[in-house]
Amino acid sequence: MGESQPGILAPVPKLARYLNFSLKAGVAPGAALRELVKLADGNQVVVGIGLPAVLALGKSIAGLRPFPTHFGVGLILSSTSSPLWCWLRGHDRGDLLHASKKIADAVSAAFNLDSVIDAFNYGTGRDLTGYEDGTENPQGKKAVDAAIVSERGKGLDGSSFVAAQLWMHDFKAFDAMSSAEQDNAIGRRKSDNQELRDAPASSHVKRTAQESFDPEAFVLRRSMPWAEGIRGGLNFVAFGKSFDGFEAQLKRMVGAEDGITDALFKFTLPISGSYFWCPPMLEGKLDLRALGL
């Protein structure tokens, strides 16, 4: 069993920053990624490498593919193929700023820092709508089985595939819904987090119930609320041993399976969508052997 970046399995931190980079034209990213290895401990800095960077190195990682925009029917989604993603985990905004600057400098030979999303833990792990998020996450060994690659050999075992989507909430639309409509949209009661037995088929938890898929579609969600000015929403993040579980859930959410769209879309929309491969660790450092580094 390979060692995973420890921040993946650890609980969600109090504060975080998500750094999204683009590739500079005509520069091979190998040397910049080697610089990143010196800084990223996999815990305070979790790293995901996107398909554009892997292709620029002339390599491939089986299972790493572009983020899907649609499934033939249903809604069209934003797909933003970013080459590099860093999830900075911490508890102090000042420290996170300094860490962001260090990382941006370290990789600047090949990557531009395109966007920084400030994220935080809200109350007892709630989404900004007030609903508890993460309740049905797999725990312990089940979390490892869902999120971490195994039996694929050195350089891949211990790695993980992460889907990241920035969702922007329309708080006016959400506030205009009655509390019964809101509970039905999620499929849980906001007041006590109880699952509604008679939740409609469009409710989010009915759409995504992980054991209802064949094969079962377990993922490890590590989403965090984000805010900028008075805009905000959820930075949805799900780690998997592949993208298949996430994609099965997303397909059902957009209505591609049965024409029923997830009620979440009444008040929130994804404005980005990216897939990354999170390399494993070897002796406390990111292991980039699979990329020939």
Q: How far is CA 218 from CA 43, 85, 97, 142, 270, in A?
A: 22, 23, 33, 9, 21
**Shortest distance, position 113 Cβ to ligand HEM, whole Å:** 25
**Shortest distance, position 146 Cβ to ligand HEM, whole Å:** 10
Q: Does 210 bind ligand HEM (CB under 6 A)?
A: yes
Q: Does 127 bind ligand HEM (CB under 6 A)?
A: yes
Q: Does 209 bind ligand HEM (CB under 6 A)?
A: yes
Q: Does 249 bind ligand HEM (CB under 6 A)?
A: yes
Compute the distance between CA of residue 188 and CA of residue 204 in angstroms, rounded to an integer.
9
Q: Does 160 bind ligand HEM (CB under 6 A)?
A: no
Q: Which is nearer to ligand HEM, 232 or 280 (CB)?
A: 232
Q: Which is nearer to ligand HEM, 81 or 210 (CB)?
A: 210
* Binding residue (CB under 6 A) for ligand HEM from 264, 288, 290, 291: 264
Q: Does 133 bind ligand HEM (CB under 6 A)?
A: yes
Q: Which stretch binds ligand HEM (CB under 6 A): 26-34, 108-116, 233-241, 273-281?
A: 233-241
83 three-class SS: coil
CA atoms within 13 A on the CB side of 113: 15
Q: Does 19 bind ligand HEM (CB under 6 A)?
A: no
Q: Does 166 bind ligand HEM (CB under 6 A)?
A: no
Q: Using CB atoms within 10 A of its CB, is residue 57 exposed (0-12), middle (13-18) or buried (19+)?
A: middle
Q: Does 188 bind ligand HEM (CB under 6 A)?
A: yes
Q: Which is nearer to ligand HEM, 155 or 245 (CB)?
A: 245
Give the pairing type, strands 160-169 and 268-270.
antiparallel
Q: Which is nearer to ligand HEM, 111 or 131 (CB)?
A: 131
What is the Cα 180 distance to its own chain's centre?
A: 29
Compute the distance between CA of residue 219 and CA of residue 41 in angstroms, rounded to an integer.
23
Q: CA-based diameter of the chain, in Å?
A: 56
Q: Which two tokens stand for residue 255?
A: 């209505």
Write the CB contacts of 68 (distance below 8 Å, at least 6 apart in sequence): 77, 79, 247, 250, 273
* Binding residue (CB under 6 A) for ligand HEM from 67, 111, 246, 276: 246
* Binding residue (CB under 6 A) for ligand HEM from 3, 41, 136, 170: 136
Q: Using CB atoms within 10 A of its CB, is residue 99 exposed (0-12), middle (13-18) or buried (19+)?
A: buried
**Shortest distance, position 19 Cβ to ligand HEM, whole Å:** 21
Q: Does 119 bind ligand HEM (CB under 6 A)?
A: no
Q: Which of residues 23-42 bind ligand HEM (CB under 6 A)?
A: none
Write the CB contacts of 212 (distance below 8 Å, at least 6 apart in sequence): none
Compute the distance between CA of residue 86 and CA of residue 19 in angstroms, rounded to an integer.
5
Q: Which residues bind to ligand HEM, rule: CB under 6 A?
A: 127, 131-136, 165, 167, 186, 188, 204-205, 208-210, 219, 233-234, 236, 238, 246, 249-250, 253, 264, 268
